[in-house]
Chains A and B, each alone.
Chain A
Amino acid sequence: DTAVSQTPKYLVTQMGNDKSIKCEQNLGHDTMYWYKQDSKKFLKIMFSYNNKELIINETVPNRFSPKSPDKAHLNLHINSLELGDSAVYFCASSPEPGLYGYTFGSGTRLTVV
């Protein structure tokens, strides 16, 4: 059983398209996150939800919109994709906000052409 699962694993799409990445965790954690990792491996937090409530919303273009239908799911929708959005996006979860007990998904590699 995968603890934090993301779909799709790979996503290739054209500029201007709208796409979604889905994340689900079966750990019973209250907090979920989206991170962006660029080509140089730099990891930047984008959003965090705790019990379906948004608690972290870093400086991210408003083309990115997270949605948490329940505390086991956190999806990321991206409108009007740009070349600079190409990266690996990681979902993660933890029992509560912070770095304790973080579990990461295996990532979604997004390529915008």
Chain B
Amino acid sequence: GNSVTQMEGPVTLSEEAFLTINCTYTATGYPSLFWYVQYPGEGLQLLLKATKADDKGSNKGFEATYRKETTSFHLEKGSVQVSDSAVYFCALVSGGSYIPTFGRGTSLIVHP
């Protein structure tokens, strides 16, 4: 079956630090990969996506590259801000299934 593994949090950084949140997956077929962000008290919002190998998704300074050889989709940002503090979810859809698979979420805390 499909699965998504994210690094455990919380990840605690100072403002302007470099961010990496690791995500690896197992999937049947060729999955589409997503990162969602959940700010406190809100629902999840799509941050970025990639639909095939070597695609790079990007949005709001965040990037992630679909690496088929390492089955990874790590989220990066060059300089985080306090406002980036949130929970980040890696997710995939694959094999014609309607059912998305979410990782367990990684909490990011950015200090001034």
Contact A4 B43 (CB under 8 A): yes
CB neighbours of A99 from chain B (8 A): 32, 34, 49, 91-93, 100
Q: Tell me how many residues of A have a C-beta within 8 Å of chain B.
A: 21
The number of residue pairs between A and B whose CB atoms lie closer than 8 Å in the complex comes to 52
In angstroms, Cα B44 to Cα A45, docked, is 13
Contact A98 B98 (CB under 8 A): yes
* Choice from A98, A105, A107 contacting B93 with Cβ under 8 Å: A98
Query: Is B46 part of the binding interface, using a Cβ–Cβ cutoff of 8 Å?
Result: yes
CB neighbours of A13 from chain B (8 A): none
Query: Is A27 part of the binding interface, using a Cβ–Cβ cutoff of 8 Å?
Result: no
Chain B interface mostly? strand
Contact A41 B43 (CB under 8 A): no
Q: Tell me how many residues of B have a C-beta within 8 Å of chain A.
A: 23
Query: Is B73 part of the binding interface, using a Cβ–Cβ cutoff of 8 Å?
Result: no
Query: Is A48 part of the binding interface, using a Cβ–Cβ cutoff of 8 Å?
Result: yes
**Chain A residues numbered 84-113 whose CB sits less than 8 Å from any CB in chain B:** 90, 92, 97-100, 102, 104-107
A-B contact pairs, 8 of them (CB 8 A): A4-B43, A41-B38, A41-B104, A58-B99, A90-B44, A92-B43, A99-B93, A99-B100
Where the two chains meet, the residues of A that have a C-beta atom closer than 8 Å to any C-beta of B are 4, 40-43, 45, 48, 55-56, 58, 90, 92, 97-100, 102, 104-107
